[in-house]
Amino acid sequence: MQIIVVFRYDDYSNHSPTNLEVRLFETFQRNHIPFTIGVIPFLESGDTHEYNALSSTKANLLRNMNNTSIIEVALHGFNHETIYQNKKPLYSEFAGLDFTSQHERLSQGKRLLEQLVGKTVKTFIPSWNSYDENTIKALELLEFETISASNLSSVNLKNEKSPLKFLPQTCSLNELRRAVKSAKRNEEGRAIIVVLFHAYDFTDVDESRGEITYENFLELLDWLKAQTDVSFLNISQTAQVEHDLTYQRLSKNIFFLNALSLMPLFLQPSAKYLNLTQDAANRLKIKAWAITSIYYFTLLLGFAALAYHGKFIFIENILPLFILKYIFLSLILVLFLLIASIKLRGRMGHKRALISAVVIGVAIGIGILIVERYISIM
């Protein structure tokens, strides 16, 4: 099993901590580990609604490191500011904008970065990992080669044969060790692990949000380097050696990961963190959905039986028919709210699926009781 680890550092900008980034660059260079850095080319200047380009200090740091072939500079949006709908933030800089607006933003950002580093920018990392079909069309027209978003973000492309390569993030720094161990147990071909991290992930920068110290990060790199089956590439390098990074592969992996998100942790297979080939994703998808269906169907039947047979304990003598009706309607309302929240957020997850199975099961059990009482009354 060959394991490719790709480090993706996001939110490099005029506001990001330069001291940490200098340290990061030196660490990756010393360890001969390439990585991709998502750069925000413009930031708004106060309340003037004007945009300042990346400063000379930040640009020089990028240019110097770019000459070492250690880093790959990727475009991380235009200014990383969310668009609004009905005065509510959508937490997306591109999804929902018209094609012309998106093309203009991407074109300006790409042009600036290429002028600053003196190399072609081939990779796009959307802010908040959010994009739509207009984004894809604009990226194709501007000759981007790769897009790296989330392993759960995709769009329904009408043209599924996009020349773009899709290489999503798969885990965080804290999950990386477990992801590599998971890949070692998998025999479904080459594993690609894209590690997304920010400056605030280090407790040295932000104690409240940080999840790892810099010293622990260094220990993690030492552990990775000791793994003989792990190699390090940046996003563009990975796109060159892995030929199938198509939209179809992304879709199949997302479908597989959605199935995994419904399963309890003790049932999840080891391949959770892997960017699987299409064939591997298909095989494991069928297995995951089969296990998931059996698990929740068993829960549903169990709680239906519990609710129904509970009448012998307390329901038969204590709860009159009209109370049972209210309970039944309340359960249906809860189920409706669950479905609505899933539609709004786009993903169910194990907890919501578990609650749904319990609610449906109890509703079925009580529904049978109500029907029986109506029949007995008649």
CATH code for position 213: 3.20.20.370
Is 301 inside a domain boundary? yes
Question: Which run of H or of E encompasses 241?
Answer: helix 235-241
Specify whether 322 is located in the same domain as 371: yes
How many angstroms separate the CA atoms of 360 and 356, rounded? Answer: 6
How many angstroms separate the CA atoms of 264 and 38, rounded? Answer: 33
Is 263 inside a domain boundary? no
Specify whether 54 is located in the same domain as 194: yes
Specify whether 221 is located in the same domain as 333: no
Specify whether 362 is located in the same domain as 297: yes
Q: What pLDDT score does 312 carry?
A: 45
Give the number of C-alpha atoms closer than 13 A to the C-alpha of residue 267, restricted to the C-beta side: 18
Q: Which residue, 9, 150, 158, is CA-closest to 91?
A: 150
Q: What pLDDT score does 185 carry?
A: 79
Give the number of C-alpha atoms closer than 13 A to the C-alpha of residue 341, restricted to the C-beta side: 13
Amino acid at 237: Q
Is 202 inside a domain boundary? yes
Position of tokens 């059996």? 294
254-288, pLDDT tens digit by residue?
A: 777 777 777 776 666 544 545 667 777 777 777 77
Specify whether 219 is located in the same domain as 340: no
Q: How many residues does the chain have?
A: 378
Q: How many domains does the chain have?
A: 2
Specify whether 70 is located in the same domain as 216: yes
Q: What pLDDT score does 28 carry?
A: 96
Q: What pLDDT score does 313 carry?
A: 44
Is 251 inside a domain boundary? no
**Pick from 193, 215, 245: which residue ends a domain?**
245
Phi-psi region of 235 (alpha: psi -120 to 50; beta: other; left: phi over 0): alpha
96-124, pLDDT tens digit by residue?
A: 899 999 999 999 999 999 999 889 999 99
Is 201 inside a domain boundary? yes
Specify whether 200 is located in the same domain as 313: no
Strands 191-197 and 230-232, sheet pairing: unpaired
**Pick from 220, 245, 270: which residue ends a domain?**
245
**Pick from 245, 274, 308: which residue ends a domain?**
245
Specify whether 214 is located in the same domain as 307: no
CA 293 to chain centre: 24
Specify whether 241 is located in the same domain as 305: no
Is 272 inside a domain boundary? no
Strands 84-85 and 88-89, sheet pairing: antiparallel
355 within 8 A of 338, measured Cβ to Cβ: yes
Is 271 inside a domain boundary? no
Position of tokens 């668009």? 83
Q: What are the start-end ranges of the E strands in 256-348?
A: none
Per-residue pLDDT of the chain (378 residues; tens, 9 = 90+): 689 999 999 999 999 999 999 999 999 999 999 999 999 999 876 655 567 889 999 999 998 887 777 899 999 999 999 888 777 887 889 998 999 999 999 999 999 999 998 899 999 999 999 999 999 999 999 999 999 998 766 666 666 678 999 998 988 999 899 889 888 877 666 788 999 999 999 999 999 999 999 999 999 999 999 999 999 999 999 999 988 888 888 877 777 777 777 777 666 654 454 566 777 777 777 777 788 788 888 887 888 787 777 654 455 555 565 566 656 666 666 666 656 555 544 556 677 777 777 877 777 777 777 777 666 655
Question: Residue 218's CB: how many other CB atoms inside 10 A?
Answer: 12
Specify whether 96 is located in the same domain as 234: yes
How many angstroms separate the CA atoms of 282 and 263, rounded? Answer: 17
Question: Residue 328's CB: how many other CB atoms inside 10 A?
Answer: 19
Q: What pLDDT score does 24 carry?
A: 96
DSSP 128: G
Specify whether 56 is located in the same domain as 183: yes
Supply the range of the domain harboring residue 154.
3-245
Is 257 inside a domain boundary? no
Specify whether 68 is located in the same domain as 171: yes
Q: Which residue, 220, 221, 191, 216, is CA-closest to 202?
A: 216
Phi-psi region of 104 (alpha: psi -120 to 50; beta: other; left: phi over 0): alpha
99 within 8 A of 138, measured Cβ to Cβ: yes
Q: What is the torsional sign of CA 172, 173, 175, 178?
A: positive
Q: What radius of gyration do the chain's Cα atoms show?
A: 25
Write down the H helix ranges in 214-277. Answer: 214-225, 235-241, 247-262
User: Between the CA atoms of 222, 72, 257 and 349, what dihedral angle is there, to the nearest 10 degrees?
Assistant: 90
